[in-house]
Amino acid sequence: MGPAMKTPRITGVLAPVVTPFRADRAPDAERFVRHCQWLLEHGCAGLAVFGTNSEANSMSVAEKADLLDALIAAGVPAAKLMPGTGACALPDSIALTRKAVSLGCAGVLMLPPFYYKGVSDEGLYRNFAEVIERVGDARLQLYLYHIPPVSGVPITLGLIERLLKDYPQALAGAKDSSGDWSNTKAMLDAFGKSGFDVFPGSEVFLLDGLRAGGKGCITATGNINPGAIDGVYRNWQSKDADALQAGITATRKIVQSVPMIPALKAAIAHYADDPEWKRLRPPLVELSAAEEKKLLDGLAADGFAMPGIEAVACPVH
């Protein structure tokens, strides 16, 4: 066997795919697969399954491995997948990363271990280094996931620099969900020319990111608005780019006027006429009736649509 072939890098719009749950709160593989297929057909270049918006940390490693298997079995290309695989426990991170790499996923998006706060870069370096070494597969493309407002554990530029130096083949890039453009810009300026692909964590920064060397975005609203967001990605050098950006930013603001994760699920439930989609796992809860009305009224006034989305005719669980 020759050297392992890396899957080409994903660029463009990725959705951190929301995870549907059945009445017994088990992951609903059928709806999940169907939504992934819809996303790839409507503008997503890739699927960052098992992200924050996927309620990934509310699922066990085994549940996530089963969902990956279901995607592959349904014909979703592994080359489109960038699953989240970072957990608090190193063996969990290693197990899910190994699974993703063995399936041929384009990459993995890794949270730092997020229970302890105020940890050192040395400790975080050891975590990522140990995952890379124990997975021990040249196909691994690791994207670091910086989302301090939720994880409480930042990925510093110094940590990236050290990992890039020691693992230039494995370190593929980062998602920056800090919400702080100056941090994204600093990442791009420092590493964007070293084959380190930076994705802002919101389409609000998509155009700014592309102009500064970014590779697309990985964004919650990619779950419902992938076509328009992809429109900015495809036309970022056109004279219409700023107007297109203003459009997707406006839609984003409507969605994030209520809690984001239940909002995405409520929108899918509404546009697919499939109320099963509204369910969340604790500790998250559904939108209140007032929040749902605010969201749906706002989207309607914006002329929002989800072309081709439809209910999944599932057996009653």
Can you give the binding site for a second copy, defined by CB under 8 A? 25, 52, 57-63, 88-92, 95, 112-117, 119-120, 122-124, 126-127, 130, 149-153, 281-285
Q: Would you say 228 or 258 has its CB closer to a second copy?
A: 258
Q: Would you say 43 or 262 has its CB closer to a second copy?
A: 262
Give CA 251 to chain center in angstroms. 18
Which position among 80, 143, 185, 251 bears the catalytic label?
A: 143
Which position among 64, 80, 99, 175 bears the catalytic label?
A: 175
Q: Would you say 12 or 27 has its CB closer to a second copy?
A: 27
Residues paired with 27 in a beta bridge: 21
Least distance CB 286 / a second copy (angstroms) = 10
Q: Catalytic site residue 143?
A: yes
Cβ atoms of 50 and 85 closer than 8 Å: yes
- Tokens linked to 101: 């790499």
Q: Catalytic site residue 145?
A: no
Q: Classify residue 73 by burial, with Cβ atoms within 10 Å: 0-12, 13-18, 19+.
A: exposed
Q: Catalytic site residue 97?
A: no
CA distance 227 to 39: 9
CA distance 31 to 77: 17
Residues paired with 310 in a beta bridge: none
CA distances in angstroms from 204 to 125, 216, 220, listed in the order given: 30, 11, 11
For the annotated catalytic residues, the residue numbers are 52, 115, 143, 175
